[in-house]
Amino acid sequence: MWTNENRARYDRSGLRYPSDLTNEEWALIAPLSPPAKRGGGKRSVDLRAVVNGLMYVLSTGCQWRAIPKDLPARSTVHDYLDLWDYDGTLARVHHTLYVACREQAGRDASPTAGIIDSQSVKGAEKGGGSIDASGYDAGKKIKGKKRHILVDTQGLLMHALVHPADVQDRDGGVLVMATLFGLYPFLLKLYADGGYQGPVFQAGLRRVCRQISVDIVKRSNQAKAMPCCPGDGSSSAPSDG
């Protein structure tokens, strides 16, 4: 948590780019990086520089071709992104940092409650056509994709999926829960809005996560955000201990 006392710890003005990893941050990630394959020549790619390239794209939203010349080539950065997504490296890094954040906040490593929600956004286009899996969300009147996320009661990301916008919340929500693969074994309660109400989502959830119950939180007329969202000042905000 940022405070005046630890302000210097979050000062990134001395870095080449604000998105670059500090030595302390790299020390957390480095042990989770896959070792080089046996045989052949010695690895010549600096993995820390690759991660810096990924963080630059993530923080700035720039095109791959706009990666600065003092970072690894865009093909190198993109290839490692594909590889680490495929072999589970990114998932391992995220889960390790997630557990560390919860423990630092005095919470149990694995949550007992989560909040599920989605957001429909326009898909990226190139040459007049969509490069994302595209669908039309009739309720939001948006053609594109839907970001479906699961967070804990502190707002920390637990899991996320991206699918076409025409997939209804009740179906996409089941897919999100089905792809947890036992990552959060103590998850018992799921908070959701009215889009997940009804027997379809309930039945699907029982098939994939039998131990989890759903609590539908209705949005009040005065509220601008879900009452169950962390930090909205609502007394009904859930807690996972």
What total number of domains does the chain contain? 2
Separation of alpha carbons 159 and 150, rounded Å: 5
β-strands 113-122, 189-192 pairing: parallel
Specify if 235 maps to a domain: no
Residue pair 35/55 in contact (Cβ under 8 Å)? The answer is no
Tell me, yes or no, whether 102 and 150 share the same domain: no
Tell me, yes or no, whether 104 and 116 share the same domain: no
Specify if 66 maps to a domain: yes
Specify if 236 maps to a domain: no
pLDDT at 148: 96
DSSP summary character for residue 41: S
Coil vs helix vs strand at 214: strand
Specify if 237 maps to a domain: no
Specify if 169 maps to a domain: yes
Separation of alpha carbons 234 and 232, rounded Å: 6
241 residues of the chain, pLDDT tens digit each: 667 777 777 788 889 999 999 999 999 999 999 888 877 778 889 999 999 999 999 999 999 999 999 999 999 999 999 999 999 999 999 999 999 999 999 999 999 999 999 999 987 766 555 566 678 888 888 888 999 999 999 999 999 999 999 999 999 999 999 999 889 999 999 999 999 999 999 999 999 999 999 999 987 655 554 444 444 444 455 677 6
Specify if 129 maps to a domain: yes
CATH code of the domain containing 122? 3.30.420.10
Tell me, yes or no, whether 130 and 144 share the same domain: yes
Structure tokens at 68: 């600065």
Tell me, yes or no, whether 101 and 114 share the same domain: no
Separation of alpha carbons 67 and 196, rounded Å: 40
Separation of alpha carbons 90 and 159, rounded Å: 12
Tell me, yes or no, whether 115 and 183 share the same domain: yes
Residue pair 123/145 in contact (Cβ under 8 Å)? The answer is yes
First to last CA, the chain: 18
Specify if 91 maps to a domain: yes
Specify if 3 maps to a domain: no
Tell me, yes or no, whether 100 and 185 share the same domain: no
- The domain containing residue 94 runs over which residues? 17-34+45-108
Q: How many CB atoms lie within 10 A of CB 167?
A: 20
Answer yes or no: pTM beyond 0.75: yes
